[in-house]
């Protein structure tokens, strides 16, 4: 069974084909990230317009790379939320149209669930197997999932497929968003996760003791406080108070100061999610732990989890952590295999605020 997955919730126009929920046949991704760099973050209108231009070529590329014709595709899965409204619309309307034209069952997929299902890919076609480092076994239940991206920071406990409970989530900024904002304060390029990680390599992670935010919910997170602490520390370093404009900071901080701030922030931000993941592991005793979302590509996150969790995690390839179509195709396969309800191709609507 082969499913085509379509993903357009943010700045990646993506389509992938997955077989039986475990075999990666293609993963075509075109990012409009370069267009957003000048603004230090994703501009929704620019992203939506880019999706319109890219969606058909990306889908065709994913079918071609998978060596599939429409005949070979058994179902279409599309991200219908959460995400940017104008961006989701392009993917959903495209999927609805293709489902009608080619007479294929249509499935509405949750973006955040998709990030987790990227971990269920354990095989790849001969052309892709050298390009993707995949786990050797599929995760077992109960499964604890940590989803950390530009839009989400959530801890979720799965009893079984489609039977899960949200343990906690961020009460303000997502962790990736905090990385992006800190990068902007330091004058590092967007996206902030990789650029903060790069700067952190030459910094001292103990140089600053940024506070870890305290939140009421046992498994909730907060990242807005640490981000503001970075801003205040940077202003204080150059002898200025909180009224000093943040856009003038990069020009006044030395490379060594930026590296120390990057390393210290990265340590605290990652520790925040690892602390609660370890706590949830102890309370619920899951058989497997998986991570998903762009920040799951972070080597520092992988290092801290490996150090502090008593079980080994088999991490998936970083290319499957950031937004992609293969994760939606994988989730789509499980939706088909578990008899989940099909979407009506005449009616499927977007849900920008879809939660877990
Ligand atoms: O999952 P994703 O591609 O899009 C959303 O659903 O949000 O995640 C994007 C986020 C960005 O905030 C980016 O800074 C972060 O993931 N990110 C990383 C890395 N690669 C991307 N953060 C830390 N380390 C990375 N290598
Ligand atoms: Zn995402």
Per-residue pLDDT, 32: 86
Mean pLDDT of the chain: 96
Does residue 145 have its Cβ closer than 6 Å to ligand 1?
no
2: left (phi over 0), alpha (psi -120 to 50) or beta: beta
Partners of 78 in the beta sheet?
Answer: 6, 108
Establish whether residue 7 lines the binding site of ligand 1, counting it when its CB lies within 6 angstroms of any ligand atom: no
- Distance between CA 291 and CA 312 in Å, rounded? 12
Closest listed residue to residue 146, CA positions, set 242, 38, 51, 281:
281
Residue 97 has pLDDT above 80, yes or no: yes
CA–CA separation, 337 and 1 (whole Å): 9
Q: Please provide the DSSP assignment of 266-317 as one string.
A: HHHHHHHHHHHHHHHHHHH--SEEEEESGGGG-HHHHHHHHHH-SS---PPP
Distance from the CA of 295 to the center of ligand 1, in angstroms?
4
Q: How many Å lie between the centroid of ligand 2 and the Cα of residue 338?
A: 23
Read off the pTM: 0.95
Using the mean position of ligand 2's atoms as its centre, give its distance from the Cα of residue 328 in Å: 11
Q: Is the CB of 10 under 6 A from ligand 1?
A: yes
Q: Is the pLDDT of residue 229 over 80?
A: yes
The candidate with the shortest Cα–Cα distance to 352, out of 40, 16, 79, is 79
CB 258 within 8 A of CB 186: yes
Over residues 313-321, the mean pLDDT reads: 95
Pairwise pLDDT comparison (230 vs 190), residue with the higher score: 230
pLDDT of residue 40: 75
Q: Do residues 75 and 332 touch, judged by C-beta distance below 8 A?
A: yes
Which residue in 353, 352, 277, 354 sits closest to 87, CA to CA? 352
Task: For the chain, give the percent of residues with pLDDT over 90.
Answer: 94
**Ligand at shortest distance from the CA of 29:** 1
Please check the confidence at residue 172 and state whether its pLDDT lies above 80. Answer: yes
Is the CB–ligand 1 distance for residue 323 below 6 Å? yes
Q: What is the pLDDT of residue 38?
A: 80
The pLDDT tens digits for 255-306 are 999 999 999 999 999 999 999 999 999 999 999 999 999 999 999 999 999 9
* Predicted pLDDT of residue 233: 96
How far is it, in rounded angstroms, from Cα 167 to Cα 147? Answer: 12
* C-beta of 150 in contact with ligand 1 (< 6 A): yes
Chain center to CA of 21: 19
Q: What is the pLDDT of residue 283?
A: 98
User: Sheet holding 2-7: strands in order across?
Assistant: 106-110, 75-81, 2-7, 12-19, 23-31, 123-124
Paired tokens of 280: 């949830």
Q: Predicted confidence band at 41 (pLDDT cuts at 50, 70, 90)?
A: confident
**Averaged pLDDT, 75-93:** 98
Mutate to test the pocket of ligand 1, among 12, 40, 44, 150 (most ligand atoms within 8 A of CB): 150
Among 236, 261, 241, smallest CA distance to 181 is for: 261
Indicate if the pLDDT at residue 39 is higher than 90.
no
Instruction: List pLDDT tens digits, range 175-188.
Output: 999 999 999 999 99
298 close to ligand 1 (CB < 6 Angstrom): yes
Distance (Å) from CA 155 to ligand 2 centroid: 15
pLDDT higher than threshold 80 for residue 308: yes
Q: What are phi and psi of 348, to 5 degrees?
A: -50, 125
């Amino acid at each position: 069974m082969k499913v085509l997955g379509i993903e357009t919730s943010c700045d990646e126009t993506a389509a992938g084909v997955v077989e039986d929920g475990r075999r990666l046949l293609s993963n075509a991704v075109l990012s409009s990230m370069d267009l957003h760099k000048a603004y230090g973050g994703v501009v929704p209108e620019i992203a939506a317009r880019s999706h319109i231009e890219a969606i058909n070529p990306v889908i065709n590329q994913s079918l071609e790379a998978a060596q599939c014709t429409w005949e070979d595709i058994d179902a279409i899965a599309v991200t219908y939320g959460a995400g940017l409204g104008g961006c989701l619309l392009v993917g959903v309307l495209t999927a609805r149209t293709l489902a009608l034209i080619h007479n294929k069952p249509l499935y509405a997929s949750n973006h955040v669930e998709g990030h987790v299902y990227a971990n269920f890919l354990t095989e790849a076609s001969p052309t892709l197997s050298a390009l993707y480092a995949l786990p050797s076994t599929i995760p077992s239940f109960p499964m604890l999932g940590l989803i950390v991206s530009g839009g989400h920071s959530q801890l979720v406990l799965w009893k079984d497929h489609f039977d899960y409970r949200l343990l906690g989530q961020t009460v303000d900024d997502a962790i990736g968003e905090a990385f992006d904002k800190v990068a902007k304060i330091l004058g590092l390029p967007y996206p902030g996760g990789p650029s903060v990680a790069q700067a952190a390599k030459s910094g001292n992670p103990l140089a600053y003791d940024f506070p870890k935010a305290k939140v009421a919910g046992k498994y909730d997170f907060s990242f807005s406080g640490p981000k503001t602490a970075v801003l205040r520390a940077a202003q204080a370093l150059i002898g200025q108070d909180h009224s000093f404009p943040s856009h003038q900071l990069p020009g006044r901080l030395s490379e060594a100061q930026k590296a120390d701030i990057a390393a210290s922030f990265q340590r605290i931000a990652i520790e925040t999610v690892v602390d609660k993941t370890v706590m949830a592991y102890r309370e619920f005793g899951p058989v497997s732990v998986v991570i998903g979302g762009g920040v799951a590509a972070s080597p520092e996150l992988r290092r801290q989890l490996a150090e502090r969790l008593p079980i080994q995690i088999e991490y998936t390839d970083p290319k499957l952590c950031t937004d992609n179509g293969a994760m939606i195709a994988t989730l789509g396969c499980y939706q088909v295999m578990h008899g989940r309800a099909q979407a009506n191709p005449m009616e499927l609507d977007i849900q920008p605020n879809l939660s877990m």
